[in-house]
Amino acid sequence: MKKNRSPYHLDGVPELKTALPLGLQHILAMFVSNITPIIIVAGVLGISSEQKTLLIQASMFVAGLNTLIQAYTLGPIGAKLPIVVGTSFAFVPVAISIGTRYGFEGVLGAALIGGIFEGLLGLIIKRVRKFFPPIVTGVVVLSIGLSLLPVGIKSFAGGVGAPDFGSVENLLIGTVVLITVVFFKQFTKGILSTGSIFIGTIVGFIVALIFGKVNLQPLIQADYLTVPRPLMFGFAFHFDAILAMILMFIVSAVETVGDMSGVTMGGAGRETTDKELSGGILADGLGSALAAVFSVLPTTSFSQNTGIIAMTGIMSRFVVATGAMFLVVGAFIPKIGALFTIIPASVIGGSLVMVFAMISISGINLITKEPLKGRNSVILAVSLGLGYGLGNVPEALTVFPESIKLIFGGSGIVVSGTIAVFLNIILPPENETVEEKVTEEAKLAKKVA
């Protein structure tokens, strides 16, 4: 009862002075990942720098808007959970493949249809919910966490492509942030504990300034006002492009199921409801269709923010909505967005290492809701062994077509989730062994006596 009165539960509304830093730490964790996919795709497809700037602003606007819809819903659309939404990295390879052949208009047309398709999946998710028991969703969540750990370490070391990647300065900055986060999380109380990631980021930013790692030019040169524009590019529809996108949206739906399970398990110690799953998948798909209207790549739930909720235990939708407003406002005021972009990768990586590990722990908690033996241990061993293994050794799929490699040779999440669902269907439920039955009867007899 006391927990339900906390301002940090699902419908809780903390004071604004508390909600602001807590919401801001969510945005700090996802900001670069939100804008990087469109930068990569725009660069490969030769989109002009002026258009690229507008696409970055649109990415912020759509992410903020879709996060608000997930948190507070729009009719049946939205999970009513503190899910942070951003541009999905998973769509980058297929977007480049489609864009190289059909142009950016082909990417947006396929994404529009694919988003609508995923939205329709949300309407029937209740009928297939039985295929996602804790062992299956746990495998997906654990796979998400494990697949993100290398991403966290790469940021910790300075970010992929950084000329000083792995330098002593970067490792020191990341370590300072990690120690700060652990200290404030474990040895303080109240806002100092719950805002440990935000505090760690501030401390790391100061250290980075001292080391001369912060470039202030993007902040100085950024404009004061822009307006996100829809339909900057047209739509083109090609069957093969749409099919490839639909397959990726199925992957996105599986990851979103895992993220929602991670949020409810990490923040409230429970599984997601049918209504939450349906609304969440519906919002994931239609939110991506909205992204296509604003000429940006599909959006999805962000696993790093799931990890923050698992680490802090803060489920308040108001906190996440506060963070989302930074994105929306930043879409109109480029200097706000620039402020986030000047934070060095090693500063963000210092907290992401712990955040991503917490996602894995949420997956373990789901998996161990039932005894991890017999049938469940087989599902975990086979799905995680093949999924995580192929995710780290994608060259094992060299003989397969590019479309197959794009879907199954990436992070390993799809392989793990697919195998877990398949094994859960075909492996028969375990009957109680004779030894277990005798033990239970003995316990019952002792209790009666």
User: Which sequence spans correspond to the domains of the chain?
Assistant: 3-144+214-344+354-370
| Phi, psi of 163, rounded to the nearest 5 degrees | -65, -25
Read off the tokens for 58: 């649109």
pLDDT digits (tens, 9 = 90+) for 323-370: 999 889 888 887 876 776 678 888 888 887 887 787 788 788 878 878
Query: How many angstroms from the chain centroid is the CA of residue 374?
Result: 31
pLDDT digits (tens, 9 = 90+) for 76-105: 999 899 999 998 877 876 788 788 888 999
The pLDDT value recorded for residue 433 is 47
CA distance 152 to 356: 7
pTM over 0.85: no
- The CA-atom distances, in angstroms, between 207 and each of 286, 344, 346 are 42, 11, 11
Instruction: Provide DSSP, 136-183.
Output: HHHHHHHHHHHHHHHHHHHHHTT-TT-TTTT-HHHHHHHHHHHHHHHH
The pLDDT value recorded for residue 443 is 58
Mean pLDDT of 13-34: 82
Residue 432 has pLDDT above 60, yes or no: no
The region, left, alpha or beta by phi > 0 then psi within -120 to 50, assigned to residue 412 is left
Residue 17 has pLDDT above 80, yes or no: yes
pLDDT digits (tens, 9 = 90+) for 135-146: 887 887 788 778
388: number of CA atoms within 13 Å, CB side? 19
Matching residue, tokens 């009957």: 431
CB-based contact 224:333 (threshold 8 Å): yes
Residue 434 has pLDDT above 70, yes or no: no
CB-based contact 85:67 (threshold 8 Å): yes
pLDDT digits (tens, 9 = 90+) for 34-60: 877 887 688 778 777 678 778 888 999
